[in-house]
Amino acid sequence: FLDIRDLHAKTGCFTFDPGFTSTGSCLSAITFIDGPKGICLYRGYPVQELVERAQALEAAYLLLVGELPNPKQLEQFKSDINKDMLIHDKIKAMFATFTINAHPMAIMVAVVGALSCVFSELDPANELHRWLACNRLIAKVPVLACMAYKSSIGQPIMQPRTDLSFAGNFLYMMFATPMEDYKVNPVAAKAVNAFMILHMDHEQNASTSTVRIAGSPQANPYACIAAGVACLWGPAHGGANEAVIEMLEQIGSKDKVAQFVEDVKNKKEGVRLMGFGHRVYKNYDPRARVMKKMVAEVLAELGVDDPLLAVAHELEKVALEDDYFIKRKLYPNVDYYSGIMLRALGIPTSMFTVMFAMSRTVGWVSQWNEMVSEGQMKIGRPRQLYVGTAERKFSRSIPES
Ligand code: ACO
């Protein structure tokens, strides 16, 4: 029996797995996914049940601690998170320095990373230090998200309110102004709560793996989360929710769907059906199922008629009946319908991935904490197959002057 860790040392061999399609990088007790069956469990609870019954902060506590909080624990957690929502003045001052058209995700990479200037003293071996870092990130990232939005539209930043839910506070900070009273719509708060829970964790996806690798040499956790934000931004990952809306707008109407699907199948200029496909799910993404239902409910309750929903339905129908998609087991993922719901709430498209980032922060810190606390701090260091030039002698092609 050869321990896999000794594979290279003893045999000179290592596994070659570009994209890590079949490489397990860690042990984790946080999220379970069964791709072929379309199952997603947070600490054993089906994600769809949590969406129906839990508050975002209950789900966050569950992911971080491992058990649902009792009422006293939940109250304490909410109070800690509320206190941690304050942002240092130096970080607030950063928002004035970005260019007017800066994408909010670019701003988030900078300001989340800058938290490591404020909270630089941290001993990863100290449980309390880790707990504080996790809480601060869960609390501050949504506030920073709203600050990024408000500063981009030239409006004053709104301070969070302690009397609102986590989701309600996000909506308040996004849409309230000092000039007018703002009441959080319960339908919108329920939708944001659901969005947050659905996006909180998804085992070793690209951004979570990035956070773990960044954290493995004991880097500052705030900087590690900034690395996660950067990775999530890509359109093949969290940026897909923004890309789906751009794609649906580009298609424009139901009668153009068939031609678009042909373009996807012919791989025209790298055209992909955004919001479709997943590395692990080879069946309908259970989160997408919840999101599809939520979209219908939220649009009906808010009285919104979005023509893009009809295009999305038609596109899904045509794709799911087509051999190209059937053969490759391509189904809608969580990003396919989420943008239509966020549009109905008045969230601008450029904030979609930011909302994903603030939700996924819960998973990132839970995974970072698990890695650090369970002594899995083996530095993440894959190998490569070198395909470059063999060793050669140095000789100048330009004569020395
Ligand atoms: N549209 C069209 N074809 C697709 C799509 C798609 N969305 N996804 C995969 N395929 C095809 C590929 O072209 C490939 O076909 P081939 O065998 O003829 O070359 C085959 O399916 C396998 O695709 P891969 O890219 O190898 O699959 P992988 O597991 O590496 O990629 C990914 C998964 C990145 C999610 C991919 O499906 C994709 O790009 N989807 C669109 C972007 C998206 O929605 N991303 C969000 C993912 S979920 C999340 O991050 C929350």
Q: What is the pLDDT of residues 156-168, one digit of tens each?
A: 889 999 899 999 9
> Bigger pLDDT: 21 or 399?
21
Residue 5 pLDDT > 80: no
Instruction: Tell me which residue has its CA closest to atom 31 in ligand 1.
Output: 279
C-alpha 135 – ligand 1 centre gap (Å): 34
Mean pLDDT for the chain? 94
For residues 142 and 174, what is the distance between their CA atoms, to the nearest angstrom? Answer: 10
pLDDT tier at 281, thresholds 50, 70, 90? very high
For residues 248 and 55, what is the distance between their CA atoms, to the nearest angstrom? Answer: 31
Beta-bridge partners for 40: 33
Residue 261 pLDDT > 90: yes
Determine if ligand 1 sits within 6 Å of the CB of residue 273: yes
pLDDT tier at 269, thresholds 50, 70, 90? confident
Mean predicted confidence (pLDDT) in 347-354: 96
pLDDT tier at 170, thresholds 50, 70, 90? very high
pLDDT tier at 100, thresholds 50, 70, 90? confident
Assess whether 278 carries a catalytic annotation.
Answer: yes
Name the percent of the chain lying above pLDDT 70. Answer: 98
Determine if ligand 1 sits within 6 Å of the CB of residue 264: yes
- At 62-83, the pLDDT tens digits run 999 999 999 999 999 999 999 9
What integer pLDDT is reported at residue 2 of this predicted model? Answer: 62
Among 249, 273, 267, smallest CA distance to 331 is for 273
For residues 71 and 8, what is the distance between their CA atoms, to the nearest angstrom? Answer: 51
Q: SS3 for 311-325, per residue?
A: HHHHHHHHHHCCHHH
Radius of gyration of the chain (CA): 23
What integer pLDDT is reported at residue 319 of this predicted model? Answer: 97
Residue 23 pLDDT > 70: yes
Residue 339 pLDDT > 60: yes
Mean predicted confidence (pLDDT) in 19-34: 95
Instruction: Tell me which residue has its CA closest to atom 22 in ligand 1.
Output: 328
Contact 283, 331 (CB under 8 A): yes
- Choosing from 103, 199, 202, 278, the catalytic residue is 278
- At 216-259, the pLDDT tens digits run 999 999 999 999 999 999 999 999 999 999 999 999 999 999 99
- At 298-331, the pLDDT tens digits run 999 999 999 999 999 999 999 999 999 999 999 9
What integer pLDDT is reported at residue 221 of this predicted model? Answer: 95
- At 39-55, the pLDDT tens digits run 999 999 999 999 999 99
For residues 135 and 138, what is the distance between their CA atoms, to the nearest angstrom? Answer: 5
Among 193, 168, 189, smallest CA distance to 362 is for 193
Instruction: Tell me which residue has its CA closest to atom 32 in ligand 1.
Output: 278
What integer pLDDT is reported at residue 152 of this predicted model? Answer: 86
Determine if ligand 1 sits within 6 Å of the CB of residue 261: no
Instruction: Tell me which residue has its CA closest to atom 24 in ligand 1.
Output: 279
Mean predicted confidence (pLDDT) in 275-303: 95
Contact 165, 193 (CB under 8 A): yes
ipTM for the predicted complex: 0.97
C-alpha 285 – ligand 1 centre gap (Å): 14
- At 182-227, the pLDDT tens digits run 999 999 999 999 999 999 999 999 999 999 999 999 999 999 999 9
What integer pLDDT is reported at residue 121 of this predicted model? Answer: 79
pLDDT tier at 1, thresholds 50, 70, 90? low
Mean predicted confidence (pLDDT) in 351-375: 95
What is the CA angle 380-107-210, rounded to 5? Answer: 10
Name the percent of the chain lying above pLDDT 90. Answer: 85
Beta-bridge partners for 31: 42
Residue 385 pLDDT > 70: yes
Distances (CA, A) of 29 to 7, 8, 62, 365, 378: 26, 28, 12, 14, 18
Torsion, CA 15, CA 21, CA 22, CA 28, rounded to 10 = 120
pTM score: 0.94
Sheet architecture: strand order including 45-46: 31-34, 39-42, 45-46
Token pair in block for residue 252:
């424009």
